[in-house]
Structure 1
Amino acid sequence: MNRRCFVVNLKGLIGYGEGLVLQEKAFDKVVSGKADGILLLLEHKPVFTIGRSGGKENLLVDEKYLKTAGIELYETNRGGNITYHGPGQIVAYPIFDLKNWKKDLPWYVTCLEEVIINVLKDYGIKAGRKPKYRGVWVGDKKIAAIGIAVAKWITTHGFAFNVKVNKDHFNFINPCGITEFSVVSLDDFVKDVNFDEVMEKVKDNFSVVFDTNFKEASRKWLESN
């Protein structure tokens, strides 16, 4: 299928609220038929987000402390529990009309996991899945979290992949409500990891896994009517 798909690589640190607005812009473009899919790639400013499954009980510090630490807190409409986004983490928001791929949410989430598993394979790292928990794991340590939302078969939200992230911030929560396992980052395995190189590999693997040629697009295009 010849799909009209675009990738927008957003530069600098993006606030979470700003990211939600940009997702809405992308959603509007897809729902109006101007694109079949738009992939947003970015880094967020430090933020904890709480999904539809809740997660406030898994926040281990009070909100006053978060303010002093410079970390925002948001409740969102994605699936899943509490998670962290911050600098050194690749966040991917695929705004895809699944009617142009497959109307199958487990298939879609498995594809998101496959993108990251393939990137890690490029670095000689064997990663996989856990039957009970979504996301990508290296052994018993989580390297990427996934949480999505879907309306009219159009996806929003996506994944957060730890590349050179400050893992100390994960100590303020039970990530995704999980207490028996910990988190890990790509730079734990790869010395002098190049963030931009990893971002390119994420882009390339989206093209492979979703069998789609993504054209580069600008933020200006994304925000235009």
Structure 2
Amino acid sequence: MNNNLNKIVQFIDLALIDYQLGWDTQEKLFSEIIDIKIQNRNLAAENQQTTPNYLLFCQHPHVYTLGKSGKINNLLLNENGLEEKRAKFYKINRGGDITYHGPGQLVGYPILDLENFFTDIHRYMRFLEEAVIRTLEEYDIKAGRIDGLTGVWLDHVEPNIARKICAMGVKSSRWVTMHGFALNVNTDLDYFQNIVPCGIDDKAVTSMATELHQLLDIQEVAYKLKHHLGKLFEMDFFAHSLEKAKGA
């Protein structure tokens, strides 16, 4: 194994991007890291290549995605209903159940070789949650976790009124991650009425805009969230162009 840990993270802002194109971009970068790790197994330590890390931020047009452990019945729309809502639907290879992505929602895809940081998926998920919790705190929104449930919640100590503000679902192979989190900033929450969010039928969904009664600057939120991720993971960021990431 390469003992030269690389905490440099190439940050890519994909802006508003079709879900399939965003997924393809993730898969390309994910496969790149996996291929390097496989090649390194047959090389002496001094000849091994350092694995890169990426953090993608984006928004998506209206789309519902179903994780590999999810139930299709948690999508409450048929094909005609999806067309009426101008929404797409994908079965994808992350963990978790069904969720919604759309404009006004900040989606983050960390594509990291955790061997550059720490090899603990539980800790990884908690760090993602903690970065969101710290970001919300900057807007005077108190958030936390609920035992047994992933993501970030408001009124998390009151089960009857708890509301999810950030959903999470990841994939990991050979300690390389993909997929990630979706923070509702200015999200149209009506779209969540068409699913059983994350397969949980007794909890509401909320957004920063709903809680603060005003729209927010999503780029400002993204800047703060990136900062907190960097602090927690001890990342060293630099910008990376979309064209290079896509292999253009």
- Return the TM-score normalized by structure 1: 0.95
Distance 2:50 2:101 in 1: 29
Report percent identity of matched pairs: 39
Partner of 1:46: 62
Q: Distance in 2 between matches of 1:189 and 1:74?
A: 29
Q: 1:132 aligns with which of 126, 148, 161?
A: 148
Q: 1:2 to 1:20 in 2, by over 3 A?
A: closer
Unaligned runs of 5+ in 1: none
Separation of aligned partners in 1, 2:76 and 2:20: 23
| Cα deviation code 1:105-128 (max 9, x no counterpart) | 111010110110010011111100
Structure 2, unaligned runs of 5 or more: 37-48, 156-161
Distance 2:197 2:77 in 1: 13
1:161-197 C-alpha deviation (Å, 9 max, x unpaired): 0000010000000100111110000001333411111
Amino acid at match of 1:133: L
- Which AA in structure 2 matches 1:127? A
Of 84, 87, 90, the residue aligned with 1:74 is 90
> In 1, distance between residues paired with 2:239 and 2:135?
20
| SS of 1:129 mapped into structure 2 | strand
- Superposed CA offset, 1:5-48 (max 9, x none): 1110112x211111111102221343335653100000011111
Q: Which has the larger radius of gyration?
A: 2
Kindly tell me the number of residue pairs found equivalent between the two proteins.
224
**What is the identity, as a one-letter code, of the residue corresponding to 1:134?**
T
Contact 1:89 1:161 (C-alpha < 8 Å) held by counterparts: yes
Q: Which runs of 4+ in 1 moved over 4 A?
A: none
Q: TM-score of the superposition, structure 2-length normalised?
A: 0.86
Query: For 1:83 and 1:143, how far apart are their aligned partners in 2?
Result: 12
Name 2:20's counterpart in structure 1. 17
Aligned to 1:92: 108
